[in-house]
Amino acid sequence: MDISHKKSGADPVPSVVNILLADDDLDDCDLFKTALSELNIGAEIRVVYDGAELMKLLKEYNPLPCVLFMDQNMPKKNGMACLQEIKEDEKLRPLPVYILSTSFDKDIIKQLYTKGAEHYIRKPNGFSDLKQVILHALTITALNKKIDQSNKSPEPEENFVLEH
């Protein structure tokens, strides 16, 4: 994933990014896709609607997507179970996983952090907030790809929840 600048002094954003979104809420999926298109970053997005479908697709994906945005509360297999399976699979482990949820259960958030999610994002209510948090997550992902992952320290727990 390359880093480019939209204009001098702008935040770095990925120039091309392949995104996988796993969410069973069709309205949330449409909002995410619209927000992503308005960011004008040339992203390609694929959507799956439950955890079982996600895991089946990931095992067939080659190469892996640049990033996965995954709802915590999905049918068939929830985000926690999918995250655990992803992080236990050597091929899937490097995939950055951002957990999306409307809830803010601190025990669940701590478990997601411990299991290796990149960040936790509480689904924003406003469209502009959604765009901001997507851009923030994609920028973090792009910057992390520039860092030698073998020397990268985990994100401090206090920075795990992305605010919008």
Give per-residue pLDDT as tens, 110-162. Answer: 999 999 999 999 988 889 999 999 998 888 888 777 655 545 556 666 677 77
CATH number for the domain running over 13-143+155-162: 3.40.50.2300
Structure tokens at 118: 């990149």
CA nearest to 71, candidates 87, 89, 47? 47
Report pLDDT digits (tens) over 44-90.
Answer: 999 999 999 999 999 998 889 999 999 999 989 999 999 999 999 99
Q: pLDDT for 10-34, tens place per residue?
A: 444 445 689 999 999 999 999 999 9
Q: Which residues contact 115 (CB under 8 A, 6 or more apart)?
A: 80, 83, 84, 87
**Given this model, what pLDDT does residue 7 score?**
36
Asked if 12 and 139 count as a contact pair (C-beta separation under 8 A), the reply is yes
pLDDT at 3 > cutoff 90: no
The 10 Å CB-count burial string (b at 16+, else e) for 65-75 is bbbbbbbbbbe
3-state secondary structure of 155: coil
Would you say how long the chain is, in residues? 164
Burial-class residue 130 by CB neighbours within 10 Å (0-12, 13-18, 19+).
buried
Where residue 9 falls among pLDDT bands split at 50, 70, 90? Answer: very low
Domain boundaries, the chain: 13-143+155-162
Phi, psi angles (nearest 5°) of residue 146? -80, -15
Whole-number Å distance between alpha carbons of 83 and 85: 5
SS3 call for 71: strand
